[in-house]
Amino acid sequence: MPTSPSEPDASGPADLADLAVVGAGPAGLAAAVTAAGLGLRVTLLDAGEQPGGQFYRHPAPGLGAARPEALHHAWPEFATREAALRAHVSAGRITYLTAHHVWTVVPDGGHWVLHAVAGPEERAAAVHARALLIATGAYERQLPFPGWTLPGVVGAGGAQAMLKAGLVLPGKRVVVAGSGPLLLAVAGSLAAAGATVPAVVEAAAYIAYAARTPVLLRNPGKLAEAAAYGAALARHRIRLLTRHAVTEAHGTDRVEAVTVARLDRDWRPLPGTARRIPCDALAVGHGLVPQLELATGLGCATRRSPDGTVALELDAGMRTSVPGVWSAGETGGIGGAGLALAEGEIAAHSIAGRPAPAGLVRRRARLRAFADAMGAAHRPGPGWTGWLRDDAVVCRCEEVPAGRIREAAGELGARDARTVKLLTRAGMGWCQGRMCGPAVAALAGEAPAPDRRPLSCPVPLRLLAELPPDAH
């Protein structure tokens, strides 16, 4: 008789699911409800309190938002799947575990054991499943600059998340900067919610898309979305500065202004082009980075994406290189919510041993091609480190300045981020290199290496102590 969910009896797991899905964002949610519809018993685990992940992050019920869709694109895609989730949960086909942060997955006699930290009281939880789908999404890519640790400087996705979930703004006058299509969405949301947005500062040249016209023309939905963003910028009188970057944030206790400079083709700031824009907040980000540590911990093979990030190597059925492990959404390469929904459904069919509907397969190919074109257009140029003064903090957690990292990569001969970490502590802090990883790799002169984090979140020692002795 098991005494706790994490202690199976001798005959095997007390409660073996057909499929465990990690992440209830667009990919995981679509996969879970599709798999349940195909007859599988599914356990869906998510770190959040509500389904939707980051893209469909929305106010908690207590906030009583009458029109949550006002902050969203393609809300019905979420609403129908959320309704399906509730129905499957009521019918006992899906076990939905909220506030469960999966920190590792281990194989155990032909099935998977997922270990999670559960709830505010940080309980231990374990889930056993025959198949595993990793839909852990992404976090934002940051390229540091002097002053980026000032209060009021927030991630572009961070500003969006705080607005979507908490109905709050970081300031009244918010500059939006970095690179990628998310900036346009963020600027539109902030302005619609009452902020003044003096400028959207985009490092890439949008002209880069023109070279990929056929891909654009095959994605009329994406063109319409772009037109809507353009209209929103015009309506709120927001200036779009392309081939520009915020090269410094100024202030003492909080940001008061930013310096914006023009960039050359390699993203090197051009001398004599700097100007100041007063603001009380800055929302900055350079696209997204797939969150892979659970997958790489199991040995899943990775590939380099056109945007310069590392993503999982997946086949047409969304299988990773490890038998019994599937993945969908941003983990297979940054591509947005529409692609994640399609991939989640394809994965569910594959896990259930069914062929994926042809329309889904075509949709995935089309959106993936578009994502690759966007990723290449917004990939950071090598010259961005030109705005990184030696005294600028790169690793926010351990407060390691650029000069120390350059010293490690220069005089001390470090050739990769891991060696830099051992010499400087950059990447050794609370966030485990999520915020500084791309920057440290660039300063070390290498492309970012695949994520390696034995624990995907902080785990109280007592939870490790409670593990049965034969747990790996």
Partner 1 sequence: MKAHDRDRTPRSLVGGSPLSAHTIGFDGRELPAQEGQSIAAVLWSAGILAWRTTREGGAPRGAFCGIGSCYDCLVTVNGRPNQRACLVPARPGDTVTTQEGTGHADLAV
Q: Which residues bind partner 1 (CB under 8 A)?
A: 47, 49, 54, 57, 59-68, 70-71, 120, 139-140, 149, 151-155, 157-163, 165-170, 191-196, 235-236, 253-254, 281, 291, 396-399, 429-431, 434-435, 458
Of the pair 8, 26, the CB lying nearest partner 1 is at 26
- DSSP code at position 170: S
- Give me the DSSP letters along 293-314: HHHHHTT--EEE-TTS-EEE--
Q: Select from 93, 90, 131, 137 the least CA-distant residue to 110.
A: 131
Of the pair 57, 378, the CB lying nearest partner 1 is at 57
Calpha distance 337→344 (Å, rounded): 10
Rounded least distance, CB 7 to partner 1, Å: 27
Rounded least distance, CB 104 to partner 1, Å: 17
Of the pair 168, 465, the CB lying nearest partner 1 is at 168
Rounded least distance, CB 280 to partner 1, Å: 9
Rounded least distance, CB 11 to partner 1, Å: 37
- DSSP code at position 406: H
Calpha distance 229→420 (Å, rounded): 40
End-to-end C-alpha distance for the chain, whole angstroms: 22
Of the pair 333, 437, the CB lying nearest partner 1 is at 437
In degrees, to the nearest 5, what angle opens at C-alpha 435 toward C-alphas 169 and 241? 55
Calpha distance 455→101 (Å, rounded): 11
Calpha distance 163→400 (Å, rounded): 30
Rounded least distance, CB 79 to partner 1, Å: 15
Rounded least distance, CB 385 to partner 1, Å: 21
Rounded least distance, CB 203 to partner 1, Å: 19
Of the pair 244, 434, the CB lying nearest partner 1 is at 434
Phi and psi at 108, nearest 5°, equal -150, 100
CB 325 within 8 A of CB 319: yes
Of the pair 131, 395, the CB lying nearest partner 1 is at 395
Of the pair 66, 91, the CB lying nearest partner 1 is at 66
Q: Tokens 């492990």 — which residue?
A: 325
Of the pair 140, 307, the CB lying nearest partner 1 is at 140
Tokens of 288: 């997204």
Containing H/E element for 201? strand 199-202
Beta-bridge partners for 408: none
**Side chain identity at residue 29, one-letter code:** L
CB 427 within 8 A of CB 420: yes
Task: Kindly calculate the radius of gyration of the chain based on its CA atoms and give it in whole angstroms.
Answer: 22
Rounded least distance, CB 441 to partner 1, Å: 17
